[in-house]
Structure 1
Amino acid sequence: MSLYHEILKRYWGYDAFRDLQEEIITSIGEGKDTLGLMPTGGGKSITFQVPALAKEGMCLVITPLIALMKDQVENLKSRDIKAIAIYSGMTRQEIIVALENCIFGNYKFLYISPERLDTEIFRVKLRSMNISMITVDESHCISQWGYDFRPAYLKIAEIRELLPDIPVLALTATATPEVVKDIQQRLHFKKENVFRMSFERKNLAYIVRNTDNKTGEILHILNRMPGSSIIYVRNRKRTKETTLFLQREGITADFYHAGLNNDVKDLRQKRWQSGECRVMVATNAFGMGIDKPDVRTVIHLDLPDSPEAYFQEAGRAGRDGEKAYAIILYANSDKAALKKRISDTFPEKDYIKQVYEQLNYYYQMAMGDGLGCMFDFNLEDFCRRYKHFPVPADSALKILTQAGYIEYTDEQDNASRLLFTTRREELYKLREMGEQADLLIQTILRSYTGVFTDYAYIHEDSLAMRTGLTRQQIYDLLIVLAKRRILDYIPHKKTPYIIYKRERVELRHLQISKTVYEERKERYEARIKAMLEYVTSETACRSRMLLHYFGEKNEHNCEQCDTCINRKKNNGVTDSSYNVLRRQILEMLSVQQRTPADLARLIEADKEEIAAVIRFLLDKGEIQMEDGMLQTKNTTFANN
């Protein structure tokens, strides 16, 4: 048994790797820069965790998903693997402790958000770390052609210069051909090296239902298709409304969005994963890192704004390989709503400049000041004070982030954490603190490990239950202990952050480049157009449309999406006959134009079947007729 298989069995309990995992692991293990394209649920984390455990030193994992980062660190710790994370919102003291542990603490994984790569403290400490490999998760974020470009990812190339001989493993679940090429160039791959899993999901049926009664359609689907389900909606308010509707109809359901606190999110996720709750109604905040194999239906009540986002969310259905359904409920009014997102996501440049100026007033930032300053940020309060609608204001702040003026982090729910700053032996001399303080200290030491070397996440409610004290008493005692410098205590806080990446500039010097604004807006519009083509097409195989978008050519229809089923009903042609006749017709027409009668004479098949396939290819747009002559036609995304 190879070392990789031994590690897989020891830490994860599996006897064999899944498709493509071993090939990627072998490639990065041999020191080759490697790009792995693996759809949602493909087991990406194994591809860097196993080779990192086989190597001396520590794996640097760069990822923008803070919630996923925390989950993976906790998951590794539960397997007795030393892992640590650094992200926006941590105090300088926490970051220093984490970095020192990476140098001296024999850690195997350092998870870090891309924005932290650019800090001086990180770059200084990095020189003393023994880095074995670099993993870039969600690597499509490095490409300006990607659907979620983040400027901070461009700093990874500079990190490579500091670690010239360290191989990079880039991972993503969604990348078009141009993005695949761009990722490798921007990460300075020594040689192109791509491992691709097919994006085809043979057990997953893609369905689009055109309906003005979406709630009624949800009931119809859930009553016909048993099993676990996710319903995706666009905003937080709608998660609750839809959940209450389902509960009134006797279906167990919960809602989930980024605005809930961690304890509530964890509880609801566990109830859904255990099957106690059947349906999770959620925004796109739900799903990352959640590996529930038996989801039978993923239903979209609102349209995603890109095929990439849809493919990821739909891909959470049927990970067990059993039949599952990804269903979009589409009303004609959705088209206008989706197009409105363009102006919401890319407000006018003058509006963006106004938001920047008001942000400076909000923090009383003087001209020339600000570089490196970090502030809690309350979007609701900001919008109320300056009379903005939240969606365009949020978009303006994100564009200012893209332009490099600020860093605007998403809302984070940071649990309370603490670190003992006194040595263990000195704690026993502190009896004068009183019985309650002594009881709390002893309970913390029994409940949490590593509290003398690293910040531990704690729950005041849990400590209250274990000690018999109230939550307020726990909080007050921890504040006292912190003031006495016995420990460092950071209470729970839930907030986004604004970090100034540059000093405040005058508005006439504020530059929002064509790359940041016009080119990104153009690509955003193209994705929305592709999404609308997907839901409005009535003839093209849904699976083939998605596969073609991601650069995967295939010659067969899925035979299980709504358009394939409708074609079979309407044409009366068997699947095998259709594929054979289609290929023959297209081959003949690629050579020269022909009449339908010519094709019927030249092809040995039932004439009714030939006529049915010709009609379908005309409807689908694969061929066209001019002056009675049939000819091939250039295909587009929607017609492939």
Structure 2
Amino acid sequence: MLERSRDILKNVYGFENFRPLQQEIIFHVLKGKDTVALLPTGGGKSICYQIPGIQLKGICIVISPLVALIKDQVDQLKKRNIKAVGITGGISYRELDDVLDNCIYGNYDFLYLSPERLQQDLVQERLLKMNVNLIAIDEAHCISEWGHDFRPAYRQISILKGLHPRVPIIALTATATHAVQKDILNVLELKNFKVFKSSYERANIHYTIEKTGDKRQSFVDFYKNNPGSSITYVRSRKNAVEFTLILHQSDITAGFYHGGLNNKLRELAAQSWMKNDMQVMVATNAFGMGIDKPDVRSVVHMQLPDSIESFYQETGRAGRDNRDSIAHFIYNRNDIEHAYNQFVKSQPTPEYLKFIYKKLSNYLRIAIGEGEEITHSLSFSKFCNTYQLNGMQAYSALNALDRFSVISLAQGYHRRSSVRFRESGTRIIHFAQNRPVVNAIIQAMLRTYGSSQHHDLQINTALIATRSNTSEDQVNETLQLLHEQELVEATITNTDLQITYLVPRDDDRTINRFSRELENQNSLRLEKLKSLVKLVTNTDTCINRMILEYFDEKTDQDCGHCSNCHSGKMMVTTPQQITNALQKQPLSYKEILEFLPEKKERIVAHLKMLLEEGKISLTTNNKYKINE
């Protein structure tokens, strides 16, 4: 049984050996037993259900909370020639019907669903007909009201247990306190289960916290001393752009990534960073889920995340090759106050949620008792401008409505163009005869959509750009020109959100159903923020110990390499700091130890790596020197 698993690991995933606990977890699942897998970020959780899903006859149902995560997992499986499909927002009833039928009759190995989809009668009806071999609950901490990203729809996952009572369940997460673990077991009603728990300690990650009066300078100084691949996390789109420009001004290659970019720009930025064409990705937390880049040498936080769980997950994207890496946190005294102010503004009360829900329904022209399963494109900025809304508060309210399964919220910038012809195709072609680009675009539009003067045509500008060998901007400029010449009526709408109503509009009563739960969550989130502030501001206790103790993992040992263990000295030795020390003159091993206060074994490891990479060499008198 495990021999087949090893073959899949090698031939499908390209790995020779399992990571810690993976083999034991897979063997337990293959025996048909319920399993809870608590593995750190980068610990290889997905393989623990994907290999059994491939190996066992039938289809594996995966519950996942994020559209981006579902898309990434499905894309990765398809690249490995594994048949997988994901059901996300914005899909029509007919498309949903077809996908579910394909999963019954099309020999698919994986079906990815959001927990909200399980509430639909059609989905439950078709799941009952599927030959399900395994049920995987990804990001299982979302089940627990004590978790940092609680999603009430996760509490209904036991529906799957009722549909397929004999099918084993595997629940996976990177972050779960004892209270969260207990909640997961209770909600999923697991039988004959076993919990596999890896230590939360990431010994190769050096946690450093720097309080500074000049964050920008500290930011640049860090990257001048640490040139490896890196992620910088910020809390807003504006900051993502701003800190990227700061790095550019210091000749440090960087790009930015946030939810407001269109898919093409996000993909270009991610690929450039993955290929090491640029050193630093400055991003909001929209970046990182599903990204498995082994050589990330550092993760930098310029603002406070929501919780220690979020901090642990984000810093865990460094050092997946098990080499020494840095989790560096830069803050000033204003950041703490700002975090609390931001928290107050971003936690919607039941009253504010009722207000936003009514405004949204009115804006989208949804009548009372209607709207279920209809998807709308929304320009968030226009929505806020229409009602003079605070953007942060309004967006948090939409996220809360998503979390409580009132709506499904998906990000993805695109332009939607609507065109109605006012003149005949012949008349328009005549207008464009001396304009080659305009003519090519018009010809492509006429071939694709015709020239109806009686109906609005929804134009896919990207498709027209491809078929006319032009750019999407040129297509939009052409539509605008034709509109100004009164040859067509064109409406170009910029949208950055897609919203699907999951229940019919019911105004106050919709929110009243979960208002008490919302207030409890707000209180819990405030406590989590306080725990994070304590972690950042406590300079007397080993940072690694504080993180472990937060996750109920006791240790008597200080890590010896975090900024608190070094009493605020700068702090963690990196290969770059060794090469910097050798710039002036060659140094012996003893002289390097005197120059850089670090554990001997870490200095030896760094020297060995630099020798292997050919960056330094030994002189005849046993001194290390830089290779020219």
> Please, what TM-score do these two structures have when normalized by structure 1?
0.76
Could you say if the C-alpha distance between residues 564 and 345 of structure 1 is closer, same or farther in structure 2, counting changes exceeding 3 Å? Answer: same
- What is aligned with 1:80? 81
CA distance in structure 1 between the aligned counterparts of 2:568 and 2:461, rounded to whole angstroms: 60
- What is aligned with 2:480? none
Conserved 8 A contact 1:539-1:567: no
- What is aligned with 2:367? 366
Alignment of 1:111-190 (within 5 A): 111-190=112-191
AA at the equivalent of 2:407: E
Could you say if the C-alpha distance between residues 10 and 136 of structure 1 is closer, same or farther in structure 2, counting changes exceeding 3 Å? Answer: same
CA distance in structure 2 between the aligned counterparts of 1:302 and 1:415, rounded to whole angstroms: 32
CA deviation vs aligned residue, 1:212-261 (integer Å, no higher than 9, x gap): 21110011111112211111111001111111111111111111111111
The secondary structure found in structure 1 opposite 2:134 is strand
- What is aligned with 2:314? 313
- What is aligned with 1:412? 412
AA at the equivalent of 1:234: R
* Structure 2 residue 394 is the aligned partner of structure 1 residue 393: yes
Alignment of 1:437-456 (within 5 A): none
CA distance in structure 2 between the aligned counterparts of 1:332 and 1:71, rounded to whole angstroms: 38
**How far 1:364 moved relative to its partner?**
3.1
Conserved 8 A contact 1:463-1:474: no
**How far 1:470 moved relative to its partner?**
4.4
Could you say if the C-alpha distance between residues 178 and 515 of structure 1 is closer, same or farther in structure 2, counting changes exceeding 3 Å? Answer: farther
Could you say if the C-alpha distance between residues 324 and 115 of structure 1 is closer, same or farther in structure 2, counting changes exceeding 3 Å? Answer: same
AA at the equivalent of 1:39: P
- What is aligned with 1:263? 264
The secondary structure found in structure 1 opposite 2:142 is helix
CA distance in structure 2 between the aligned counterparts of 1:258 and 1:568, rounded to whole angstroms: 37
CA distance in structure 2 between the aligned counterparts of 1:474 and 1:98, rounded to whole angstroms: 35
**How far 1:342 moved relative to its partner?**
2.5
**How far 1:309 moved relative to its partner?**
0.4
CA deviation vs aligned residue, 1:535-568 (integer Å, no higher than 9, x gap): 1101110001011111111111100001111189
- What is aligned with 1:289? 290
- What is aligned with 2:44? 43
CA distance in structure 1 between the aligned counterparts of 2:64 and 2:550, rounded to whole angstroms: 25
CA deviation vs aligned residue, 1:28-55 (integer Å, no higher than 9, x gap): 1111111101111111111111111110
Conserved 8 A contact 1:409-1:498: yes
Alignment of 1:163-562 (within 5 A): 163-404=164-405, 406-412=406-412, 469-470=469-470, 495-505=496-506, 507=508, 510-511=511-512, 513=514, 515-562=516-563
**How far 1:23 moved relative to its partner?**
0.9
- What is aligned with 2:101? 100
- What is aligned with 2:434? none
**How far 1:204 moved relative to its partner?**
0.7
**How far 1:493 moved relative to its partner?**
9.3
CA distance in structure 1 between the aligned counterparts of 2:245 and 2:570, rounded to whole angstroms: 37
CA deviation vs aligned residue, 1:256-276 (integer Å, no higher than 9, x gap): 111111221111111111111
**How far 1:187 moved relative to its partner?**
1.1
CA distance in structure 2 between the aligned counterparts of 1:412 and 1:270, rounded to whole angstroms: 18
Could you say if the C-alpha distance between residues 557 and 408 of structure 1 is closer, same or farther in structure 2, counting changes exceeding 3 Å? Answer: same
Conserved 8 A contact 1:342-1:521: no
Conserved 8 A contact 2:349-2:519: no
Where does the alignment leave 5 or more consecutive residues of structure 1 unmatched?
417-435, 441-458, 477-490, 571-640
Conserved 8 A contact 1:297-1:327: yes
CA distance in structure 2 between the aligned counterparts of 1:96 and 1:567, rounded to whole angstroms: 60
Conserved 8 A contact 1:77-1:83: yes
Could you say if the C-alpha distance between residues 180 and 508 of structure 1 is closer, same or farther in structure 2, counting changes exceeding 3 Å? Answer: closer
**How far 1:60 moved relative to its partner?**
0.6
The secondary structure found in structure 1 opposite 2:410 is coil
CA distance in structure 2 between the aligned counterparts of 1:472 and 1:299, rounded to whole angstroms: 36
Conserved 8 A contact 2:59-2:110: yes
AA at the equivalent of 1:411: Q
The secondary structure found in structure 2 opposite 1:564 is coil
- What is aligned with 1:109? 110
**How far 1:286 moved relative to its partner?**
0.8
CA distance in structure 1 between the aligned counterparts of 2:20 and 2:510, rounded to whole angstroms: 52
CA distance in structure 1 between the aligned counterparts of 2:345 and 2:371, rounded to whole angstroms: 28
- What is aligned with 2:429? none
AA at the equivalent of 2:226: M
CA deviation vs aligned residue, 1:511-544 (integer Å, no higher than 9, x gap): 1645422211111011000010001101110001
Alignment of 1:530-609 (within 5 A): 530-566=531-567
- What is aligned with 1:30? 31
CA distance in structure 2 between the aligned counterparts of 1:60 and 1:373, rounded to whole angstroms: 25
CA distance in structure 1 between the aligned counterparts of 2:91 and 2:142, rounded to whole angstroms: 23
CA distance in structure 2 between the aligned counterparts of 1:472 and 1:202, rounded to whole angstroms: 48
- What is aligned with 1:637? none
Conserved 8 A contact 2:563-2:570: no
* Structure 2 residue 53 is the aligned partner of structure 1 residue 52: yes
CA deviation vs aligned residue, 1:419-438 (integer Å, no higher than 9, x gap): xxxxxxxxxxxxxxxxx9xx
CA distance in structure 2 between the aligned counterparts of 1:566 and 1:29, rounded to whole angstroms: 49
**How far 1:87 moved relative to its partner?**
0.8
AA at the equivalent of 1:68: L
Could you say if the C-alpha distance between residues 198 and 82 of structure 1 is closer, same or farther in structure 2, counting changes exceeding 3 Å? Answer: same
**How far 1:313 moved relative to its partner?**
0.6
CA deviation vs aligned residue, 1:558-585 (integer Å, no higher than 9, x gap): 0000111118999xxxxxxxxxxxxxxx
Conserved 8 A contact 2:22-2:44: yes
Conserved 8 A contact 2:49-2:136: yes
AA at the equivalent of 2:254: A
CA distance in structure 1 between the aligned counterparts of 2:289 and 2:119, rounded to whole angstroms: 26
Conserved 8 A contact 2:464-2:475: no
The secondary structure found in structure 1 opposite 2:12 is helix
Could you say if the C-alpha distance between residues 505 and 85 of structure 1 is closer, same or farther in structure 2, counting changes exceeding 3 Å? Answer: closer
**How far 1:370 moved relative to its partner?**
3.4
Conserved 8 A contact 1:403-1:516: no
Conserved 8 A contact 2:407-2:499: yes
Identity of aligned residues (%): 40
Conserved 8 A contact 1:403-1:511: no
Conserved 8 A contact 2:62-2:137: yes
CA distance in structure 1 between the aligned counterparts of 2:378 and 2:25, rounded to whole angstroms: 41
Conserved 8 A contact 2:84-2:111: yes
CA distance in structure 1 between the aligned counterparts of 2:181 and 2:257, rounded to whole angstroms: 32
CA distance in structure 1 between the aligned counterparts of 2:269 and 2:473, rounded to whole angstroms: 28
Could you say if the C-alpha distance between residues 83 and 475 of structure 1 is closer, same or farther in structure 2, counting changes exceeding 3 Å? Answer: farther
> Please, what TM-score do these two structures have when normalized by structure 2?
0.77
CA distance in structure 2 between the aligned counterparts of 1:181 and 1:30, rounded to whole angstroms: 23
The secondary structure found in structure 2 opposite 1:127 is helix
Could you say if the C-alpha distance between residues 470 and 170 of structure 1 is closer, same or farther in structure 2, counting changes exceeding 3 Å? Answer: same
Could you say if the C-alpha distance between residues 8 and 552 of structure 1 is closer, same or farther in structure 2, counting changes exceeding 3 Å? Answer: same
The secondary structure found in structure 2 opposite 1:246 is helix
Conserved 8 A contact 2:563-2:569: no
CA distance in structure 1 between the aligned counterparts of 2:414 and 2:99, rounded to whole angstroms: 16
- What is aligned with 1:429? none
The secondary structure found in structure 2 opposite 1:409 is strand
